[in-house]
Amino acid sequence: MRFLVDENLPPSLARLLTASGHDAVHIRDLEAARAPDSAVMSRAASEDRVIVSADTDFGALLAQARATKPSVILVREIMGLRPAELASIIVDQLDILEPHFRTGAIAAITATGIRVRPLPLR
């Protein structure tokens, strides 16, 4: 799976996802720190990457645009975890999430489970 880790999460998360066998980059690695969320979304969509973020604004932007990509993993409720724990949770859930991401989805990972909403949002 291809990931774009947003700037509100540590670069080490991208490195850990890469070490788990995925293609992951942090937004800082792309020299796009402080880029508007719309630019992050465009980049992720054009590179077929799933955004990993704690920023709920991506849901609003996807809803407004009625977009079907990029898919987003929201980790707002668990962002206090160490990067290794966060990466492990994401990787452990990919069997469930990957089919949803192929057609476009937002997945919110919480301490108690996962909520998945298909795109476009209504």
Model confidence at 32: pLDDT above 80: no
Backbone angles phi, psi at 68, to 5 degrees: -105, 0
Model confidence at 33: pLDDT above 80: no
- Give pTM, 2 decimals: 0.95
Torsion of CA 26, 28, 32, 38, to 10 degrees: 40
